Structure 1
Amino acid sequence: MQLLFHHVALIVQDYETSKTFYCEVLGLKILAENYREERASWKLDLALADGGLLELFSFPNAPSRPSRPEACGLRHLAFRVEDIDAAILQLEAKGVEVEPVRIDPYTQARYTFFQDPDGLPLELYEVSNTLK
């Protein structure tokens, strides 16, 4: 069996705020947007440049999920970038706070973290063209 990445699904607290963040701040393209009346829920399908998908869902009164420190479950969502410095400048220009760049002690790759509107940790991981 060969497993390939397809998508990540996120439940967001404020649909419009998260839609703006992922589309306008991160620049993801909308593939489909549907309101599911029977669930009072939006579903937004967003395209990543490598063909992966990010799904955003809204649900009324969704419970908060503990995320720190080191709770079980999704730890963070990482995005691969070729130029981390340029990506950081783009985020900061849009008002996003970004942590200082760190170095992965095993791969020597550069990475950093920032948060989405719900506080989900997002990572930028710098990968050169030869290491994809």
Structure 2
Amino acid sequence: MLSSPQSQNIALTPGNLRRVHHIALNVQDMQASRHFYGAILGLHELTGEEVPATLRSLVTDGKVTNFVTPDGTVLDLFWEPELSPPDENPHRAFTRANHLAFDIDPQLFDRAVEVLKQNQVQIDHGPVSRPTGRGIYFYDPDGFLVEIRCDPE
């Protein structure tokens, strides 16, 4: 259960989370999704050297496709061919989202981890270190997966 930051006076302050770093969605049909986000919505698909080096093999294998929104937010599509179909009623809770990632200054990453732990936020996994930086994955009150991540120092 998430504790109230006011009761413990432990919280990240406004401005610590700098921006949405990326949005990751699981998709059942990669070609249809690429068409939708690229051709229909007009998002720029990252290709060649634009693709982050850490994702190039997954992109080459057709397992991931990356788009960028006009504000610079990256949309990662992860191919999950065995994904269950969405609910026929689009007003019900969505089933295809993977996680929402917030970017934080590397100097504040450990503080963010401590804030999550002290507030008894349910951690899925992490902190993890990768060539792309550090991250921790946790759940919001509704069970949606969220990440706080930072670039390598």
> Structure 1-normalised TM-score?
0.44
Larger gyration radius, structure 1 or structure 2 = 2
Higher helix share: 2
Greater relative contact order structure (CA < 8 Å, 6+ sep): 2
